[in-house]
């Protein structure tokens, strides 16, 4: 059997249906199977990436009908890079969750691992697909898994956060489906390459409306202001590793969908200005609010929103180096924010309110976890020699080259704000005495392994960024090359 | 006649969407909000199916009677897409209702004003 | 008060935009789209009379796979959200009072008819309007009828779980057989037979039957979970 992109979807689905049956044979299998699937998919990622980096992009046909009549999956340098990142990050997070909360009983554990695997599969599906309605279906798969996982714990306000998320998420689905309806009447096809080809012939007023609807719909998923009201509550209430998946994968998939629609499907350069403004507003407001937060996970959530705003700004600058910087930032943010969420989860494991002031003195009580958190904090504000430095630098260079001095200034001011609130936390961890009755929980070996690997990636990329810069450069070139996308998909006719 | 048909199909669908939107935004009872979401979905699906209609077209099923005559059939694609969308809408409604039940159990009230533990 | 005014303004804007856009999309006009290709191929290549089924299961079968997954996840999520640990000595109670005589007699007559109708709909999905989802929903309605009528009627969640899993595995395996044979995922590899006969369409019939079972089992499970868990929290425990 040839390794092909459909394995990313077929195998997790098969595993998800089989987990209850396997569970009857041996209860431990329920926890192990998602890990095995993710490990295999990481191997598939490496194989397929080496193939597309040296040759044409892989377009796989489903059900034997060529595009534009059938559905197809597209594994190009850009989508493939994101998918590889998601599978490997997913595997690392699985390692972390292996015996995260041993007191959860068996039937809940089964559901958790199945939902966990399907959440990752949903985000991978969003990135891989080449058909706009299929994108909607995978978006819903991701959304439903997120709704269920946010409300997983009983003793928190997860149900309320999840309900808020459902309301706003349903609006997102509504807008996207409405956009697809209107789009279908105008171009008569659902295949993205075919739509891209037929788009110039569409009436400009209707085209603008469709684009606006997609912008709002995907903007909700990508945490753009003012559509990100759901994000802080959801990140705070969800289990720690799930918050890491949300910030590292779900949001990236949302941004990918938005970018794919703007860059490949439509030919309206004016929307990039709108994107720039929205990105800047998102960034500024989110980072300012982050400063006022007293609870650690909420602070990380607002910081995530701010970073996503920065990614949108970078994409909207539109030059090749800006897109390169944006993709680099997406990668860095996924790894670093993952590390921050995962370490913060253990730092506040037994606390009820998860407030920052409870982190006092953790430097002495939990040295390894605190060190990892501090590493993440330094990396995310963009200080050398860690990975975050390079992405910030490249964004600034791209902004300078595009003569957007105001944008540069805003980014620098925001970076200062970030340093303030992150270092406030690090200061508390290391330079204050612990309060008397903190009940700490030492992370398990597998959790430490994940934290260590994530930290190593941050350090290694920081010192040798060339390791992935070549891949990201190809990804950026691929996104800008609309004609290549259309030709590769439709030439299979 | 044409105008009447157009208005009745598109008009009903858009009216449903607006009614559902009103219920989601203005009502305080959680259950009514979920029902509003469901109505909005219904309106959207109706809109989608209406797109596919072709004048004097018949259902896209090749039963033995229509095989030999050349009839105009309506577009089958919106119908297939709506099938998927209905199931997805149902799934979201189901999850939303289970959350309503859990919130009601926990707070003993189903009013959205009371359930505001999470602040800004 | 001001909130209501804002809401009405907002609804007005959305309504205006919708009417504006859709007035530019004429109703009932034939447009150039992929539907024509599907109609033609349904008769020639797939030999499936119900072209909507052909699209749902074959041309856009990947979407259906995603849809089946969404349903699966919703059932899973629902039972995970409403989960409570069983306390000692707790009996499963569904309804407080017995149902009326009319319901009990009527249900005995109607139940088998509804089940047969549901099975007919999903087995003949490729010949007549309907299909796996519709047929499965009909059968779930039958079990809802049973649940309302008889207090002792229990849904065995174990059986439901087995049917769900096996039906899902059948769907994905049929797709993977295509892969193993060197063709595309979900490509048709069986003989297509004659138009309008029961065995036409190749794998379409198999997939739809699997979907019918899966949907029936899932919806029944969902209804039963909600019915079972709807007692209020007496001790207000956060369990």
The ipTM, to two decimals, is 0.93
CA distance A471 to A328: 10
Distance of CA C101 to the CA centre of its chain: 31
The span from the CA of A291 to the CA of A304, in Å, is 13
Inter-chain touch A163–B81, beta carbons under 8 Å: no
Our CA angle for A183, A186, A187, nearest 5°, is 85
A409: Cα separation from own chain's centroid: 26
Determine if the peptide bond prior to A68 is cis (ω within 30°).
yes
The residues near A273 (Cβ < 8 Å, ≥ 6 apart) are A316
Q: How far apart are CA C39 and CA C60, in angstroms?
A: 14
Quote the mean pLDDT of chain B.
Answer: 85
CB-based contacts of C5, cutoff 8 Å, min separation 6: none
Beta bridge partners of A73: A60, A129
Which 3 state secondary structure label does DSSP give A355? strand
In A, which residues are within 8 Å of B50 by CB distance? none
Q: Is C10 on the interface with B (CB under 8 A)?
A: yes
When CB atoms are compared, the residue of B21, B80, B98 closest to C11 is: B21
Give C-chain residues touching A65 at CB under 8 angstroms. Answer: 58-59
Cα A8–chain centre separation: 17
Which residues in chain A show pLDDT less than 70? Answer: 1, 352-353, 436-438, 492-493
Task: For B2-35, write each residue's pLDDT tens digit.
Answer: 778 778 888 899 999 999 999 998 888 889 999 9
Q: What's the farthest any 2 CA atoms get from each other in chain B? A: 67
Phi, then psi, of A47 in degrees rounded to 5: -60, -50
- Shortest Cα distance, chain C CAs vs residue A274, angstroms: 20
Confidence at residue A103, expressed as pLDDT on a 0 to 100 scale: 73
Side-chain half-sphere CA neighbours of A149 within 13 A = 30
Considering only residues 24 to 63 of chain B, which have any Cβ-Cβ distance to chain C shorter than 8 Å?
25-26, 47, 50-55, 59-63
What is the predicted pLDDT for the residue at C234?
45
Q: Please give the interface size between B and C, counted as residue pairs whose CB atoms are below 8 Å apart.
A: 143
10 Å Cβ neighbour count for A109?
17
Q: What is the pTM of this model?
A: 0.93
**Subunit contact B60:C73, Cβ cutoff 8 A:** no
Segment (H or E) for A460: helix A445-463
Q: How many CA atoms lie within 13 A of A448 on its CB side?
A: 11
| Integer-rounded Cα radius of gyration of chain B | 20
User: Are residues C63 and A69, on separate chains, in Cβ contact within 8 Å?
Assistant: no
DSSP C133-165: HHHHHHHHHHHHHHHHH-TT----HHHHHHHHH
For the domain with range B2-107, which CATH number is right: 1.10.10.10, 1.10.287.3510, 1.10.357.10, 1.10.150.80? 1.10.287.3510
Separation CA C208–CA C119 (nearest Å): 11
Burial (CB < 10 A; 0-12, 13-18, 19+), residue A30, is: buried
Cα angle A422-A424-A425, degrees, rounded to a multiple of 5: 70
Cβ contacts of C58 on chain A, cutoff 8 Å? 63, 65
With beta carbons under 8 A apart, name residues in chain B contacting C195.
62, 67
Angle made by CA atoms C221, C226, C228, in degrees to the nearest 5? 90
Quote the distance between the C-alpha of residue A368 and its chain's center.
26
Dihedral sign for Cα C152, C157, C162, C164, please.
positive
Task: Calculate Rg over the CA atoms of chain C.
Answer: 23
CA dist C64 and C75 (Å) reads 17
In order of A390, A416, C172, C175, C181, the CA distances from C178 in angstroms are: 45, 56, 10, 6, 5
State whether residue C82 sits within 8 Å of chain A by CB.
Answer: no
Q: What is the DSSP letter of A248?
A: I
Domain borders along chain C are 49-81+99-228
What is the residue-wise DSSP string for A293-337?
A: --BHHHHHHHHHHHHHHHHHHHHHH-SHHHHHHHHHHHHHHHHHH
List the 119-178 stretch of C: residues with Cβ below 8 A of B.
127-129, 131, 133
* 3-state per-residue secondary structure call for C165-210: HHHHHHHHHHHHHHHHCCCCECCCCCCCCCCCCCCCCCHHHHHHHH
Q: Which among A206, A204, A137, A146 is positioned nearest to A177, based on CA atoms?
A: A137
In DSSP notation, B82-119 reads HHHHHHHHHHHHHHHHHHHHHHHHHHS--BTTT---S-
Buried b / exposed e along A248-274 (16+ C-beta atoms within 10 A) = bbbbbbbbbbbbbbbbbbbeeeebeee
Strand partners, B61: C50
Q: Distance between CA A363 and CA B94 in Å, rounded? A: 45
Give the angle subtended at the CA of C157 by the CAs of C156 and C161, to the nearest 5°. Answer: 125
DSSP letter, residue C17 = H
Is some CB atom of chain B closer than 8 A to the CB atom of C78? yes
Domain boundaries, chain B: 2-107
Q: What is the 8-class DSSP label of residue A199?
A: G
- β-bridge mates for residue B111, sequence order: B29
- The parts of chain C modelled with pLDDT lower than 70 are 85-95, 229-239
Contact residues on chain C for B58, CB-CB shorter than 8 A = none
Q: Using an 8 Å Cβ cutoff, are B75 and B41 in contact? A: no
By the 8 A CB rule, do C204 and B71 touch? no
Closest residue in chain B to residue A178, using alpha carbons only: B44
| Cα–Cα distance for residue pair A149/A238, rounded to 1 Å | 7
Distance CA C239, CA B43 (A): 39
Distance CA A464, CA A457 (A): 10
In whole angstroms, give the CA distance from residue A320 to residue A326.
10
Contacts for B4 with CB less than 8 Å, ≥ 6 apart: none
Asked if the C-beta of C77 comes within 8 angstroms of chain B's C-beta atoms, the answer is: yes
Phi, psi of C193 (to 5 degrees): 70, -160
């Amino acid at each position: 059997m040839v390794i092909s992109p459909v394995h990313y979807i077929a195998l997790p689905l098969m595993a998800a249906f089989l987990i209850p049956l396997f569970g009857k044979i041996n209860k431990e299998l329920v926890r192990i199977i998602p890990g095995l699937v993710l490990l295999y998919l990481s191997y598939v990622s490496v194989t397929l990436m080496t193939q597309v980096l040296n040759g044409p992009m892989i377009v796989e046909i489903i059900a034997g009908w060529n595009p534009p009549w059938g559905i197809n999956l597209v594994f190009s340098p850009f989508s493939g890079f994101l998918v590889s990142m998601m599978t490997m990050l997913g595997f690392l997070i699985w390692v972390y969750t292996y015996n995260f909360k041993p007191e959860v009983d068996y039937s809940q554990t089964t559901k958790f691992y199945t939902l966990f695997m399907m959440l990752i599969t949903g985000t991978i599906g969003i990135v891989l697909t080449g058909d706009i309605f299929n994108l909607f279906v995978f978006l819903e798969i991701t959304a439903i898994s997120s709704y269920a996982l946010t409300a997983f714990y009983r003793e928190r306000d997860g149900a309320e956060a999840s309900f808020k998320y459902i309301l706003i998420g349903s609006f997102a689905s509504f807008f996207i489906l409405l956009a697809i309806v209107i789009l279908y009447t105008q171009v008569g096809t659902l295949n993205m390459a075919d739509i891209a080809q037929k788009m110039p012939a569409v009436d400009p007023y209707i085209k603008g409306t469709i684009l606006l609807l997609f912008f709002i719909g995907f903007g909700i998923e990508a945490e753009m202001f003012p559509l990100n009201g759901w994000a802080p509550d959801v990140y705070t209430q969800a289990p720690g590793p799930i918050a890491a998946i949300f910030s590292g994968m779900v949001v990236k998939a949302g941004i990918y969908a938005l970018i794919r629609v703007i860059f490949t499907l439509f030919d309206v350069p004016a929307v990039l200005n709108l994107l720039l403004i929205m990105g800047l507003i998102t960034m500024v407001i989110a980072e300012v609010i982050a400063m006022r937060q007293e609870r650690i996970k909420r602070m990380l959530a607002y910081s995530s929103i701010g970073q996503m705003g920065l990614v949108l700004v970078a994409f909207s600058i539109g030059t090749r180096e800006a897109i390169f910087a944006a993709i680099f930032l997406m990668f860095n943010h996924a790894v670093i924010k993952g590390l921050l969420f995962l370490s913060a989860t253990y730092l506040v494991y037994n606390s009820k309110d998860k407030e920052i002031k409870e982190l006092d003195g953790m430097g002495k009580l939990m040295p390894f976890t605190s060190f990892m958190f501090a590493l993440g904090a330094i990396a995310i504000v963009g200080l050398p020699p860690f990975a975050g430095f390079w992405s910030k630098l490249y964004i600034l260079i791209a902004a300078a080259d595009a003569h957007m001095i105001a944008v540069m200034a805003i980014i620098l001011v925001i970076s200062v704000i970030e340093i303030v609130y992150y270092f406030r936390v690090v200061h508390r961890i290391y330079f204050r005495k612990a309060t008397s009755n903190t009940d700490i929980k030492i992370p398990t070996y597998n959790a430490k392994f994940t934290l260590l690997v994530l930290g190593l990636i941050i350090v290694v990329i920081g010192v040798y960024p060339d390791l992935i810069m070549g891949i990201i450069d190809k990804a950026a070139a691929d996104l800008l090359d609309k004609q290549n996308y259309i030709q590769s998909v439709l030439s299979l006719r | 006649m044409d105008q009447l048909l157009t208005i009745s199909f598109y008009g009903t669908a858009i009216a449903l969407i607006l009614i559902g939107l009103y219920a989601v935004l203005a009502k305080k009872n959680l259950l009514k909000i979920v029902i509003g979401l469901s109505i909005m979905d219904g309106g959207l699906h109706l809109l989608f199916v209406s797109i596919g209609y072709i004048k004097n077209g018949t259902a896209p099923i090749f039963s033995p009677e229509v095989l030999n005559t050349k009839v105009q059939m309506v577009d089958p694609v919106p119908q297939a897409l709506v099938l998927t969308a209905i199931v997805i809408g149902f799934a979201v409604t189901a999850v939303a209702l289970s959350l309503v039940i859990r919130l009601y159990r926990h707070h003993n009230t189903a009013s959205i004003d009371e359930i505001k533990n999470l602040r800004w | 008060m001001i909130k209501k005014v804002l809401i009405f303004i907002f609804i007005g804007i959305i309504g205006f935009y919708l009417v504006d856009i859709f007035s530019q999309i004429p109703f009932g006009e034939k447009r150039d789209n992929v539907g024509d290709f599907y109609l033609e191929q349904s008769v020639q290549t797939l030999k499936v009379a119900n072209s909507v089924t052909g699209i749902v299961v074959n041309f856009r079968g990947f979407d259906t796979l995603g849809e089946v997954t969404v349903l699966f996840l919703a059932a899973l999520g629902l039972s995970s959200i409403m989960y409570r640990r069983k306390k000692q000595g707790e009996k499963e109670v569904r309804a407080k009072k017995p149902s009326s005589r009319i319901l009990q007699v009527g249900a005995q007559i109607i139940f088998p008819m509804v089940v047969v109708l549901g099975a007919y709909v999903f087995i003949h999905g490729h010949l007549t309007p309907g299909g796996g989802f519709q047929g499965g929903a009909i059968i779930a309605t039958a079990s809802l009828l049973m649940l309302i009528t008889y207090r002792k009627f229990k849904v065995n969640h174990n059986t439901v779980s087995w049917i769900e899993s096996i039906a899902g595995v059948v769907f994905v395996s049929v797709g993977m057989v295509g892969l193993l044979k060197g063709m595309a995922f979900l490509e048709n590899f069986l003989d297509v037979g004659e138009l309008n006969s029961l065995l036409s369409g190749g794998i379409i019939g198999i997939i739809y039957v699997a979907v019918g079972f899966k949907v029936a089992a899932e919806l029944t499970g969902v209804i039963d979970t909600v019915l079972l868990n709807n007692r209020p929290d007496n001790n207000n425990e956060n369990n």
